[in-house]
Amino acid sequence: MIWRSMIGKLWATIIAIVTIVLLFLTLFLLQFFQNNNIQQAEQQMEKIGRKSAELVVHPQGRTMNETLSTVNDLADVYNAGYVLVLRNQEWRSASKTVTFGLHRAFFEQDATLKQALTGRKPVKKIGMFQVPKKHSSKRLLVVGVPVRNESGTYGAVYMVQSIQIAQNAIDQSKKLIFIAAGFSILLTTFFAFFLSTRIGSPLRKMRKAARQVALGNFDIKVPVVTRDEVGDLAVAFNHMREKLKENMNALRQEKEQLAGILQNMADGVLLMDTKAQIVAANPPAAHFIYSWNYEHKSIRSHAETPDPLKKLFHRIAEKNEQQTLELEVQGRIWVVILRPLYDQEKVRGSVAVLRDMTEERHNDQMIRSFVANVSHELRTPIAMMQGYSEAIIDDIAESVQDKKDMAQIIVDESKRMGRLVNELLDLAKLEAGHFQLDRHKVALGDFF
């Protein structure tokens, strides 16, 4: 059936998406136009009302008629009317039909509009109002601003504006939006069906080719029958297949090279997963694990991670930084360097490098012993030279012959110390590879 095929699903999906988008867009535009017009009208009426109240309270030398004329001019700018109520007096825009029939009793009977007369706060109200005397209803926007003159008398100025014109514009916009939305859905239906049938056939061919590539057949090609986006997709698919084949061959070669390097490394390399289980190990690392299990008489599998490495891995998971550990296994000293492997932000495992440092530690011990011996050998002639020199300075030697004997000892010890220093220099040259032999012909008979 068409509804179970890709064509039907694509067709239905496009229509559903466009319909939902148009529906939300229509509702949003209608609400936006209505709220925006009403908010602007309210702000304008409140601004005029406050200005009119200020003119009434502070006339600045103007008469009441002049003040009312100014207020009337302000209201005319926005096609509105006004009603000013002070004590028992009322003034209104006589030329505006919008304020016809609106008297003090009209505002006092409305609980919301009455608050402006009592001087509490400015009020706003939109709705259908029953106009006295005319026995008819009007859809009005009424904004009331309290007025309090210098004598303390409360009153209010009401700005009245009909919203029928704005409502007519909104209704006209609704009709246009609904017509455009319906026409768009109709066009989308035909377009979606045409598009889904056009791209369905090439996609089915690409799906078949993709399954072959997934099975490892990188030689299959997708025919390019069009020059549109679907044709470009087929070209891109063929290019991807070729690059994937090249990358797989390169990856296979690099894997073989890496395996060869790891197998021939003198250092051990361990790869562990997120559970600290060994995933891969080269021969030196496998020998380390075997030696560890043998020393600790463990019956676990050779692939089981030693306990110190597990603890080190958990420390890495907590601190997210490289850790180092030194272990002694069967008389051999191993240094373990464990680094975390990240999958974006999470630790997906770790790689451990195990280095046999037994020879290095032995060499370090020999160097420390050698330095201690040399220090001892140099301390003896230095002590003797210092002692006999102080004896000569302090005139401990009584005769000239005694002084000569002491001086001779100092010379002998200095020569001894010189020979030690020269031997050390020759040793340093041997280690650096800069030592040169001075060859001479010698008769061997002298040595027998």
pLDDT at 130 over 70: no
Residue 418: CATH number of its domain? 1.10.287.130
Q: Are strands 268-272 and 278-281 parallel, antiparallel or unpaired?
A: antiparallel
Residues 336 and 418 in one domain: no
pLDDT at 69 over 60: yes
Residue 298: CATH number of its domain? 3.30.450.20
Tell me what pLDDT residue 432 has.
66
Q: Give the tens place of pLDDT for each residue, 89-115.
A: 888 886 656 666 677 777 777 888 888
Residues 128 and 152 in one domain: yes
Residues 379 and 428 in one domain: yes
Q: Does the residue 66 lie in any domain?
A: yes
Tell me what pLDDT residue 136 has.
60
Residues 87 and 193 in one domain: yes
Q: Does the residue 207 lie in any domain?
A: no
Between 401 and 434, the higher pLDDT residue: 401
Structural Rg of the chain based on CA atoms: 51
Supply the range of the domain harboring residue 378: 361-432
The contacts of residue 397 (CB under 8 Å, 6+ apart) are: 391, 403, 405, 406
- Which DSSP state fits 306? P
| SS3 state of residue 298 | coil
Taking residues 69-96, report their average pLDDT: 79
Read off the pLDDT band of 323 (50, 70, 90): confident
Taking the CA atoms of 147, 149, 154 and 157 in sequence, report the sign of the dihedral they define: negative
Tell me what pLDDT residue 1 has.
46
Last residue of a domain, one of 356, 374, 401: 356
Q: How far apart are CA 287 and CA 355, in angstroms?
A: 12
Taking residues 17-26, report their average pLDDT: 84
Q: Give the tens place of pLDDT for each residue, 184-231.
A: 888 877 777 777 666 677 777 888 888 888 888 888 888 877 777 778
Residue of 232, 207, 226, 200 lying closest to 10 (CA atoms): 200
Q: Does the residue 104 lie in any domain?
A: yes
Q: How far apart are CA 369 and CA 252, in angstroms?
A: 51
Q: Give the tens place of pLDDT for each residue, 222-250.
A: 887 777 777 888 888 888 888 888 888 88
- Which two three-digit tokens encode residue 171? 């209704």
Residues 234 and 273 in one domain: no
Q: Give the tens place of pLDDT for each residue, 416-446.
A: 888 878 877 777 777 666 667 677 777 777 6
Residues 292 and 417 in one domain: no
Q: Does the residue 377 lie in any domain?
A: yes
Taking residues 140-144, report their average pLDDT: 84
Q: Does the residue 212 lie in any domain?
A: no
Tell me what pLDDT residue 431 has.
67
Residues 64 and 196 in one domain: yes
Q: How far apart are CA 374 and CA 410, in angstroms?
A: 19
Q: Does the residue 57 lie in any domain?
A: yes
Residue of 42, 28, 49 lying closest to 126 (CA atoms): 42
pLDDT at 283 over 80: yes
What's the domain count of the chain?
4
Residues 352 and 374 in one domain: no
Tell me what pLDDT residue 166 has.
65
Q: Does the residue 443 lie in any domain?
A: no
Helix (H) or strand (E) holding 156: strand 154-162
Q: How far apart are CA 32 and CA 61, in angstroms?
A: 44
Residue of 181, 121, 184 lying closest to 147 (CA atoms): 121
Residues 318 and 365 in one domain: no
Q: Are strands 323-329 and 81-86 parallel, antiparallel or unpaired?
A: unpaired
Residues 122 and 185 in one domain: yes
Place of tokens 């002084």: 403
Q: Does the residue 206 lie in any domain?
A: no
Residues 159 and 45 in one domain: yes
Q: What is the pTM of this model?
A: 0.39
Q: How far apart are CA 289 and CA 156, in angstroms?
A: 95
Residues 117 and 162 in one domain: yes
